[in-house]
Each structure stands twice: as structure tokens, then as C-alpha cells.
Structure 1
């Protein structure tokens, strides 16, 4: 018999509907039952794409004995972190504070009022790897609740008070040039100049960090900056973290060399990376970046887009029962049997094969040497090398497509779709791909028609919008306005931003709260997110959108709010410079000013010209009028701009 999750609209929760655990969704009903039965709550948060969530589900939540212990001693609540990032964010803060690490699955024990007193991430079913087993943990916590409750309640209250105090801290300070320079210097010191990327394994893409460095390279070019950018973008694009047969990036790399990924494909990662590689190709002209950007678009064109508009949320890492990466990997024998001797020769030079740690016979493809080097080594013509590699990849892809495909979550989330709309507009500026602009417009139209009604925006069907839904969409509509010059996009962007200010703005401390309302458990604590995880943060990105709106509409109140948002987090960024590169991009745009270009005759050329913080308006003027901040100049031709000093 299915449990009550069978009626959920979340694909992740539906996958738990046949577990023997008596799951609830996050709801008043669950908290009411916990209070009535005087039981603690077991909160489990994860995602439909999450490999270790599947592992814990299979090992523990499908186990009848563990399910019996849960049902007898706890009120179990299951949450989809994509659907409810507000719930996830608060309990992640608790687990990070308790264990110094977070992630998914997130496993938290709460009082009936929703106050956390213990938590972690993945727990094996039995004691192993130096970690407590989930079964023994459940029994121990049930015992503590019955025999030493005051100790549990004191712990819960202490954690709750700490989170309250954290949420009430003020980080207001003026913003100066040195704050930006400190952030850039700290970032450059964090680059792995040997293998690319930021820090040590596991390595995430940090697209906004490299976008910041490209902006800085425009104003202050240097060999160090170029090396930091290109070594990292090369490593990610060549690594196993990129799908070399179909296109698109996986979620992160488990090793320092970018060879072995976790194989989830997330819309938000690929949106931010599409923007990054499009800009990087425009700036550096590296063909690898063109192929990478086109590969992302190819993946979404084939598998990640709803013909009625909207981009799908994610693709799972696993196929079958916990076979992570099985869809994407090949054995040497498979490769040798599928390719001709000529194809195999160039393929084996171009690609390296990285061993999957748990199944070393399965190999992950990564680029070992580029096509030009293969041609030099073999003495073959470059075009022949490209032809052979193309046919080899087509054969492997055709073979791969005979396998069971990992599950695609077709949920359309407003915030992530807004990121992809912005990315496709950036991609169009570089590659003039009509599909990109058409699908960006169609996706925006679907969200506006289905999710935006009577001034209220939804995160997804049935879930009220968060501040990032409003502000990311406002930014996406400005991107569409620039390309189409349709005033309705500008008007809607301003309307949605004004609604965001009404719902989420903190009048006392400044900045945007993540939610408009309070609720059960830790949802009665209002938080303002700045950290760029898993996407750019709402308070990092909002100042840039506000600056654009103020510049384009002439409404100085938008610029006032941009300044206040930057000031609201200034001291926090000074203390933790790596917290938000989207904030540093907004700060850069504030210090430099929006670069507004008005032109009639050079409109498309001006769109395609790279310049940080540029916005182009079609206007009935001779030549071009360019305004930087409060200073405007007239130019007769685009060549004058190209030769003008930075």
C-alpha cells in the first residue's frame, strides 16, 4: 500500500510513496500530530537527482525493521529541497553548525515544535566507516526523548537561539573599492593553478567567480588573471565533469583533476555555465569554449526543454538500483568493439579514460589532448581527425542511448528557468542562435501565464514564490527586453521587482528575506541569503538588477535599494570574501556604473560587443550615445568605442 506521499506533486516525494515509512509532507498536519502524540520529528530532505539520497532510501527507508522503528517513535517528514529551498536552507544551517558539513540527504531530528536538536547527512543502516548506523541512532534518540528529554529540549533551544541571533545580526557598512579588490585577491589566491577550479576536491564549478574574473580582466588585464580563468575553464570543459558525447555539465567533480563527477545534471549549473562559456568565447576566442556552450544548448534542446515553454529541473545520476554513472561510462572492451581501428587510434589519443572508484572497469571520458595535437602526433589532416572523432562519438552515443536513461525531473521552477533565460540571451549575443531566443521568450511567457497571477509569483505549481523567483525573473525579463526592445518586458520587470520589495525587503536591516511569510519549525525565523550556493544568491544578484532598472526607468528608488542591499552585507563580505561572487559582480557594476548604449544604426553590433555591465537600447539617435554612471558621450561609429580606452 502506498503512503500519503502518493498524492504529492513532487517527483522526489512520489518516489518515496511505496516505502513502509509513514511519511508526511512538510505541513501543519504533521506538526499537529507530533504535538498530539508527543513524538519527535524525523526530517529527511533530499532531491530526485541525489545519489546518496537514493542510497539511504534503499538501505534504510525501504527496510521494514528501520521503518517500524521510525513509525513507532517519530513523525517522519520528507521534503524536496528543490521545491522547498526555504526549509532546506534553515536546517542546513543547523547541521553545518553541528557537524561542520552539510549536503543531501539531510537528516535532522526535531522537537514537535520543529526545533532541531541533532542532525547529519547520510547515515549507513548499521554502524560502519566510523559512522553511527541509522538504526542505532534512531533507537538512541528515541530513548533520549523518553528518558532525558530536558537535555534534548535544552539542546534544541540553544540551537534555536543561535539561529535567531545569527538572523538578527547587522552587517551594514559603506562599500568601497577596497572591498572589491579584497574579494578578487582572495579569489585569485584560492585558484588551483595546477588542475583548475577553486580549492580542493570535491570541486564545484563556481561559474560566478570566473565571470567576475572575466569582468575584472576587461578593466585590468594581466597574465595571472588570464591564467586563472582559462586554466579553470579548460579543466572543466575537458574533464569528465562535462558530457563529451551529448553536452552539458554534471553537478561537481569528486577529484581534483575534474575527471570523476557526480553525474546529476542540474538546470541551474548549466544555465550559469552557459553564460560563462558564451562570454569566455567572446573574450578569448577559444574554440573549446564555443563547443562547450553549444553542447549545453544541444543537451537542453534534445532532452531538457518542454515544447510548451520551460526548462526541466534536473536529470538523475543513477539508473536502476543505485547504478551511479552507469549510463555515461564505458568499458575498454565496449569502446574497442564499437570503433573502427582508425577511429580508435584518434579517439585513444584525444580522450583519456578515468576509472570509476567503485567499478574501475567502467571508464569516464575526459579530453587528454586536443584535436590539433592529435593531428600533429598522427600526421593526419585536422579535418580528418575531426571527422573520425565525430563518427566515434556518434557511435558511442548511439550505444549509450540503448541503455535505460536516468530519470529527468520535468518540473519547471521559476528561479532556475530565469537563470536559463538570461543564459540563452547571453548565448544569442555571441552565436545568434534563433532557437535560443525563441525558447527564452517562450519559457518566460509560460511562467508569466501560469505562475504569475494577480501580482503573485509561484516557485512552481502549488508553491508560493521566494524572493529569488521574483528577482531572478525580473533580471531575465530585462535580458529579453534588451534583445527584443519590447517595452512590456521592462514594465513587467519593474512591476515584479516592486512586488519583491513589498514582500521581502527588510526595512530595518536592509536586504531581501528569502520568504514572505513565517511558518512551522525554523520557518518562523526570517533569513537573508547571501551565499552563492547552489546558485547565485538573491542578495548578491539583486543590486545589479536594481541598478539596471534604475538606469533604464529613471526611477532613483531602484538605485537607492541597490546601494542599501550592497551596504547591508558589506561587513559580512569583508569578513568572508568568498561568500558571494555574485555580490562582488554587483558591487563592481555599482562602482563602474551601468554602461548604457543608445543607438539606431549599430544596435545589433553593440549587442554583440562584450563590455561588462553593458545594456543596449534602440534609440533614434545619430551614431551612439554612451552613458557610464552620470557621464554621457556621443560617438559617430562603433570603431570609436572599440578604440576607446577601458
Structure 2
């Protein structure tokens, strides 16, 4: 047998499924990622074994997918982590699957799938429940949703090691932000653990997770999405506490994003573990002598929008010009390359040379809306972009009372709608901000309906999606809104941004849109009532009085 035999990977697309149909073979779908050490290990240990490669080539149509570039494929076929090896019918239905497979495990699975295929063929395929087209579990949005998820914080919190859960520990930045207003000690202790165990204290940036309950056995991948979300979470912790121990990790991570992952225009997607000896145990000088970790500098829309929002959040609380400058550069890059490329308001997932990613993904739209809403509040511009992107998402992805994750079209099971709760929460949160910035209740109505789409099963939602309770709470009570009739960057505007409530909305240059606002004054809006303050001190006193009522 030829020792040079290798797996002949096809790209994801209808062509591969047509080949499977014509040859009467199942599809072997490999979900991999640039940053995934186990994925590369499986390539060298399993797929590089000549007999396995020959078996795969002869009996299957092998398809390799980068999960960062194809998130809709990832969400439909992920078996719980990466690498995922999924076996599909030529119609794209799922036969079976597993995560990491060594050579012996792969041989057994290949034989078992061939037996299944020979016995039943495509009839053995199934459609996961989330893709079956069933209605979402709709219900009423009530304060009980927030109460349930606040209770989940206590039930799942680890009092010995912090964080939530009793197995692998992930940083869970959105859960931290939900806890900051409800169980602040839990939130801060969890951030302490994230800082102490997951922060690279040489180059900055947070690792993805720790495999053990005590935050040991750290997996050394650094993902843009995780790092951007943690910058925001640490910045918000600093907002509430004023403690440098929460500001400094955010600052170090901003430096990492704008240095190690900076492309010249925006932020790259990830950095994987280093090969060879343990790179992350070395000091800065020793690292210079080693090969740098594998880095993917693809500019993804959602991750960069999240980064821009995080940098602007940090700037709002600190006046840090470095964070503001890079946030503006990211926003410019988004507008130039990824927003409106297809048509006005449509977000493209990524562009890498001639390789153009899918467009109109819910997560990308949600994060772009959030970023430009934040830009409006902090920089005084951005709401027009946010509105255009939100309008497209509502027109194209919102139906039957909830959001789909993207267009219902494509090979495999991409034509089956998936209605994800996590991206829905991000979009609903952004739409609530947009409603207040534009005084357009339509956005609030869509947010409410999309949150209500899952309210019938709210008692089954866990701490991993605690932010669902946060957005439900925002729908159940009057929001904290401050209209500032003063210049962007004025003392009054900066004071409004630093009110200790990370869910507040600040409307800058309010006198430009409403003549009733007197220049040089900030107004705390409470229904139809406006409480005026002319100095930062008066504003803080007014907010404190409002909180007591």
C-alpha cells in the first residue's frame, strides 16, 4: 500500500453531496479549527495513517469544514466539541458521530458506519430535534425568568473554586455580566479565577478554558470572541468596583488584541497552542526563541464587532485613547469590508482574498448592531449603521415570532431553520438599545417577541444562557436612560457613561434631536418624567435618588 496515501478532502458544498449520491456513499464530515490542538493531532495520528486514509477515500466522501468560517455547519453537526467527526447521508441527515478518534477508534467507527449504511442506507439518517421545524416554546416574558436564572447562579456556582459547574471551567463572560447585578460576589470571584488561571501574564489574552473544576489543565487556545467578551466583562466589573485588579486584565488583553492578533485593519480570529515544549510556561525572552503559536488572522465580522464594542466600553470608563483609536479602526474596517458588501445593511461573515464567507448570519448582525449602538453612545455616531443592519435582520431572519440563524438554504441540513437562543439574546439586547437610541418602539416589540419565543421553556434554561434572564429583565422594567444635551466627550457625557449600571443607555447630543433639552444639561429619563442635572455631581446624585425610589 502507498505510504503516501492521504485523505482526499472535499470542500463543503452541494458538489460533495452530489458525489455521495451518485456513488452511494455516506459523507464523512470533519469539523476542525485552526486553533484546535486536538484537531491537528487527529490529522497527524489518525487521518495520516495510510490504511485509514485509504478506507476513508474508498468508502466515504470526506469533507473538511473550518468551523469558524462555516458557523451554520458547525451548529448543525457539532457533536459536542472539536474535532467532530460526523457521518451523513447524501441528503445531509445525520447517521452518527463522535469527537476525537484515535486510529483504533476510527477503524471501529468506520466499520460500524459501513455496516449501518449497507443495512439501511439513507433510511438510517435522522434530523436533530432542533432542526425538525417544531415551533419554539413560546410563553409570556415575566420577572419569573430573571428570578429563575438568578437562582441558577446560586445552584450551579462552585463555592470552592468559583465559576459555575463542577467539571471543565469556561470563563462564561455573559453569565458574569448577568451576575454582576444579582450575585456580585460570585461574579467577581469568578473573574478572579479567570484572571488567575486563564490569563497569559506574558503576552496578555485569555485562554479558552480549563479542563478541570479547579481551573487546572488549561487549554491554550486564544479566541477573539472569548477575549473580546472578557474585556467587556472585566471592564464592567471595574465600572462597579473601581478596582484596578479588574481594569488591568482588560487593558492587557486589549494590548494582545491590538498587537498579536492585529492584521493592520482589524483583529484576527484566533491563536492556537504552540507546538513542542510548553511555550506558555516560558518568559517573554524565552518565547522569542520558539516558534510562535499558529495564528488565524481572518477578520470575522461578529468577533470584530464584539471587540469594537468591548474597546469602546473600556474607553467609556477609562478615557483610554488607545482603546478608542483601535475601536474606531475596527468599525471602519467593518463598514469598508463586511457591512453592505452584498447590499445595504447585510453583514458578510468574512472576506479573505477571493474567499468570501456567508452573509446574513444572525450572530454577526446582532453583534454589529450592538457595536454601532455602543459607538453611538460613546462616540456620538453609529446608530444609522445599527439601524440598517437591524432592519435587514428583522426583514430576512425574523419569522414565526423568532429569529433564524441565517438563510434557510444550502446543502446538507442548511436549508432547515435553526433558531438559536444565544444569538437571539444578543440580538434582542442590541434591539433594546437601538429602540432607546432611535425612539422606535418597533425594535422593542421585535425584541420582546423574540425573547417570548423561548419563554415557555424558561424553567429549563441553564446558567450558560443566564443572559436570557438579563434581557427578559430589561423588557419587564423601565430602563435606565440618560439623555445628555452636551458635547460628546464633555464631563457630563463622560459622567453619564460611568453610571454604575452596565445596561444603561446614554443618548448623546440630545439637544440636536429634541429642542426641549437645554444645552449643558443631562436628563435622567423615567417614563414621561425628566430629571435634570447640570454637573456630573448632580447627575450622580440624581441617579442615586432614582435608585432608592
Q: Does 1:234 align with 2:129?
A: no
Q: CA 1:171 to 1:144, structure 2 compared with 1: closer, same or farther past 3 Å?
A: closer
Q: C-alpha displacement at 1:439, in angstroms?
A: 1.1
* Residue in 1 that maps onto 2:178: 212
Asked if the contact 2:365/2:427 (under 8 Å) is kept, the reply is no
CA distance 1:161–1:90, shift in 2 (3 Å): closer
Conserved? CA contact 1:182–1:577, under 8 Å: no
8 Å CA contact 1:187, 1:578 repeated in 2? yes
Whether contact under 8 Å (1:594, 1:629) holds in the other structure is no
Corresponding residue number in structure 2 for 1:425: 312
Q: What is the aligned partner in structure 2 of residue 30 from structure 1?
A: 16
The match for 1:351 is none
Check 1:137–1:193 CA distance in 2 against 1; reply closer, same or farther (3 A cut).
Answer: same
Structure 1 residues 433 and 185, CA, compared in 2 at 3 Å: closer, same or farther? same
Shift of 1:84: 0.6
| Structure 2 residue 322 is the aligned partner of structure 1 residue 435 | yes
Which position in structure 1 is the counterpart of 2:122?
153
Aligned equivalent of 2:383, options 490, 514, 519: 490
Tell me the equivalent position of 2:220.
Answer: 263
Q: Summarize the alignment of residues 182-201 of structure 1 with structure 2, pairs less than 5 Å apart.
A: 182-201=148-167
Superposed CA deviations along residues 251-283 of structure 1, whole A, max 9, x for unmatched, are 001122223310000000111100011111221
TM-score (norm 1): 0.78
Give the whole-Å Cα distance in 2 for the aligned partners of 1:639 and 1:436.
25
What SS class does the counterpart of residue 404 from structure 1 fall into?
coil
Question: Mapping of 1:67-78 within 5 angstroms?
Answer: 67-78=53-64
Q: 1:219-618 maps to which residues of 2 (within 5 A)?
A: 225-239=183-197, 241-307=198-264, 309-319=265-275, 323=276, 326-330=278-282, 396-451=283-338, 452-453=340-341, 454-455=343-344, 456-461=346-351, 462-465=356-359, 466-486=361-381, 489-506=382-399, 508=400, 510-530=401-421, 537-599=422-484, 600=486, 602-616=492-506, 617-618=508-509
Counterpart-to-counterpart distance in 2, 1:565 and 1:226: 28
Q: Which has the higher contact order (CA 8 A, sep 6+)?
A: 2
TM-score of the two chains, using structure 2 as the length reference: 0.91
**Of 128, 132, 135, which aligns to 1:169?**
135
CA displacement at 1:164 relative to structure 2: 4.1
- The alpha carbon displacement at 1:287 in A equals 2.5
1:643 equivalent to 2:544? Answer yes
Separation (CA, whole Å) in 2 of partners of 1:214 and 1:208: 10
Is the 2:5–2:54 contact (alpha carbons within 8 Å) kept by the matching residues of 1? no
Partner of 2:514: none
Query: How many residues get paired?
Result: 520
Larger radius of gyration: 1
The answer to whether 1:632 aligns with 2:530 is yes
| Cα separation, partners in 2 of 1:605 and 1:104, compared to 1, 3 Å | same
**Contact 1:237-1:288 at 8 Å conserved across structures:** no
Compute the displacement of 1:641 (Å): 2.4
Secondary structure at the aligned position of 1:634 is classed as strand
SS in 1 for 2:10: coil
8 Å Cα contact 1:594-1:614 kept in structure 2: yes
- The answer as to whether partners of 1:43 and 1:107 remain within 8 angstroms in 2 is yes
- Displacement, 1:401? 2.2
C-alpha separation between the residues in 1 aligned to 2:274 and 2:402? 39
5+ unaligned residues in a row in structure 2: which ranges?
512-517
- Give deviations 1:222-246, integer Å, cap 9, x for gaps: xxx333122211111112x211112
Check 1:551–1:246 CA distance in 2 against 1; reply closer, same or farther (3 A cut): same
- CA 1:567 to 1:242, structure 2 compared with 1: closer, same or farther past 3 Å? same
Checking the alignment, whether the CA contact within 8 Å between 1:417 and 1:443 is kept in structure 2 is yes
TM-fit CA distance, 1:77? 0.4
Root-mean-square deviation (CA, aligned residues, Å) is 1.8
Q: Partners in 2 of 1:521 and 1:200 — Cα distance? A: 36
1:557-612 Cα shifts (integer Å, max 9, x gaps): 11110110111111222222435223222122222333221222611221223223
SS at 1:459's partner residue? Answer: coil
1:34/1:589 CA distance change after superposition, 3 Å: same
With 575-584 and 602-611 compared, the bigger mean Cα shift is at 575-584
